[in-house]
Amino acid sequence: MGNFVGSVGKCFSFNETTRRLTQNQLSSVPVEILQMTNLEQLDLTSNQLTSIPVGIGNLKALELLELSNNRLTSLPIEIGILCSLKELKVDFNELLSLPIEIGNLQALEKLDLSTNSLTSIPSEIGNLQALKVLNLSGNELTSLFPEIGNLQALEKLNLSDNKLTSLPPEIGNLQALKNLNLSNTTLTSLPPEIGNLKALEKLKLTYNQLASVPPEIGKLKFLREIHLDWNNLTSLPIELGHLSTLEKLYLEGNFHLISTSPEVERLCNVELDNLLGEKLRESTQKCVKCLLKSHLQQISWSEQNHHYYPLPKRKAIFTTLMISSLKNGIPQHPEAPFHKLPKEILYTIFHFICKGIQ
């Protein structure tokens, strides 16, 4: 382990292949760094960098480049020369655009561009055949490039906190995708091709404007968790109940999904068929019945904190149905919010559900 004195006079620890110059108020990359051609890892996180010099292209052996939390508005085209680069982190900057040369990084496996000001992404990113993780959250994207479907190795895609209203059908080509986050993107619909994501395990669609979910969602045979909370859903597709591996379903904040007119007290004195028939819309009734029949082990809902009420164990692994303040699932009385009901009444309600599906 040796020492390196940077341009601001501070001492940085390093070895022959790694340099970490974090939180040192650097306004430029030290020239000495750009001459270290054997460098494999360079961390410049949390400085005051406004640009990266073209000399960055000298670091052909570089595998990890961290530029997070600086003031960068662009990247040099020489970034595309870094043929050994496996991970590039440029999150929490002020990027307005990306050079098309970024598509030349054939070894790149992880790319984090979150929390910038990007309004578009060059289609050349579709050339990154080794890419496994792509984070574009917290930008100003209004559309997604169709070439996204070329990323056959992609396992995790985060597009949350953008301004997307739709997705290209090519999204369904991502056969290796396991985790897809589309929260808070103002989506109004999903393409039916979403059902082609055969490896998908987790799907987040929280805080959008979805009025419905395509029935093709039932083709996602490995889906374990789906977040549909805080949308404008009026019903659920029957096919959702076919997801035998589903563990968690989040439905909070869909205020039109379930009728809110009957009083909560009546729920303690009705059988399952009446409960579901009167409180749920027809398609939602069939879906929820299918889910409850053999999978449900635990029901939870929350206003601020999560409360869990165990149910008889089932053979399948469906573990949690999230129902927020009973505004979804079971209506709340206008004068007696569900989450304030005594625990004994809650157990009684769910006892009827369990009894009806055994």
Tens digits of residue pLDDT in 3-15: 444 443 343 545 5
- Cα distance between residue 300 and residue 287, in whole Å: 18
Q: What is the CB neighbour count within 10 angstroms for residue 218?
A: 18
Domain 1-117 has CATH 3.30.70.100: no
Domain ranges of the chain: 1-117, 221-358
Q: Quick one: pLDDT at residue 233?
A: 86
Of 334, 317, 312, 316, residue with least CA distance to 325: 334
Q: Is 348 helix (H, G, I), strand (E, B) or coil?
A: helix
Tokens at residue 131, please?
Answer: 């890419």
Q: What is the pLDDT of residues 71-81, one digit of tens each?
A: 999 999 999 99
What are φ and ψ of residue 347, in 5° steps?
A: -60, -40
CB 195 within 8 A of CB 167: no
The lowest-confidence range among 219-223, 226-230, 254-258 is 254-258
- Average confidence (pLDDT) over 193-200: 98
CB 246 within 8 A of CB 224: yes
Q: What is the pLDDT of residues 267-314, one digit of tens each?
A: 222 222 333 334 444 555 555 555 554 344 333 333 333 333 333 333
Q: Is 4 helix (H, G, I), strand (E, B) or coil?
A: strand
What are φ and ψ of residue 357, in 5° steps?
A: -105, 0
What are φ and ψ of residue 227, in 5° steps?
A: -105, 110
Q: Is 277 helix (H, G, I), strand (E, B) or coil?
A: helix
- Cα distance between residue 46 and residue 352, in whole Å: 56
Beta-bridge mates of residue 354? none
Pairing of strands 306-310, 298-302: antiparallel
Question: What's the pTM?
Answer: 0.76
* Distance set, CA 134 to CA 21, 157, 309 (Å): 25, 5, 37
Q: Given the structure tokens 């970024």, which residue do they identify?
A: 102
* Distance set, CA 50 to CA 20, 65, 120, 140, 264 (Å): 18, 16, 20, 20, 59
Q: Quick one: pLDDT at residue 289?
A: 52
Choose the most confident range, by mean pLDDT, from 3-7, 86-90, 214-218, 224-228: 86-90
Over 80: is that where the pLDDT of 224 sits? Answer: yes
Q: Quick one: pLDDT at residue 244?
A: 76
Q: Is 146 helix (H, G, I), strand (E, B) or coil?
A: helix
- Cα distance between residue 168 and residue 314, in whole Å: 38
In the chain, the DSSP E strands lie at 2-5, 11-15, 18-20, 41-43, 64-66, 87-89, 110-112, 133-135, 156-158, 179-181, 202-204, 225-227, 248-250, 298-302, 306-310, 320-322
C-beta contacts of 281-286 below 8 A and 24+ residues apart? 281/234, 281/235, 281/257, 282/235, 283/235, 283/236, 283/237, 283/238, 284/235, 284/236, 284/257, 284/258, 286/238, 286/241
